[in-house]
Amino acid sequence: MSSLLGLCVFAIGIIWALGEELPFEPEPIAMLLAMLGSAITAGAGYLKRRLKRAKEELEEERFSTPVALAFGYFRNFLSPALTKLLDEREPRSPPLRFLIYIPEKLDELGAESRKRLLAKIRDLSFEHGSVSLAMDRGDPRHLLTLMKSAESSAVYFDFPTTLLTLEALIDYKLHSEKDSFSKARRVELGVSYIARFEKALKQELVDADLASFVRFTDRRLDLESDLEEEWAAEH
């Protein structure tokens, strides 16, 4: 529109310079069109900046959601649980070990997928059970435990199902992109959010000086390494 108005001003100027008769006073019309073009250009620039800022804010908000989930998971569950377990340890007992499952895709945290993963853990000759942990505040927490043998110490294990909250965010994002049926895009967003969650959670553990008690595992379930080599190196 701004370019079209500029062409109109240019055409009026040429006709006026050639001495051709016009059915209106060319000078005020040309000035009006020039001012209108300037106003449109300024308005378009302002709108472009606003749209860019809104997009950046949307991106920031989109990526802050998994970070907020990591914060809530740590502050409301993981940190109190670790503190309670450390407080209840007997002197000279084996080091506290806590495994957190980080999925590759969100659907790994569904009920059926978790059952299959626990069956896989049994196939690896690990027994799993559960304990009820009485918390200082709120209801008792039920924790999964893994044991290689009856003589070995229990390792605590958790599926961070809070990540399933991200499915609603992905649905909203895909709807806004008009790409609701793209499976590849859904997986891509899920992978990105999970990575953000894991990174933020690890930082929370480092900041609270609790990182040495926690390890992360995934669908490969390399439990022998997770439960022996890494902890042995530190303890």
> How far apart are the C-alpha atoms of 225 and 216, rounded to whole Å?
11
What percentage of the chain exceeds 70 in pLDDT? 63
> Does pLDDT of 41 surpass 80?
no
Asked whether the predicted pLDDT for residue 25 surpasses 50, the reply is: yes
pLDDT at 179 over 70: no
Greater model confidence, 70 or 16: 70
pLDDT tens-digit map of 197-232: 999 999 999 999 999 999 999 988 887 666 664 454
Q: Please state the pTM of the whole predicted model.
A: 0.68
Give pLDDT tens digits for 123-156.
988 888 888 888 777 778 888 998 877 666 788 9
State the Rg of the chain over Cα. Answer: 31
What are the Cα distances from residue 103, in Å, to 18, 90, 187, 194?
75, 33, 12, 8
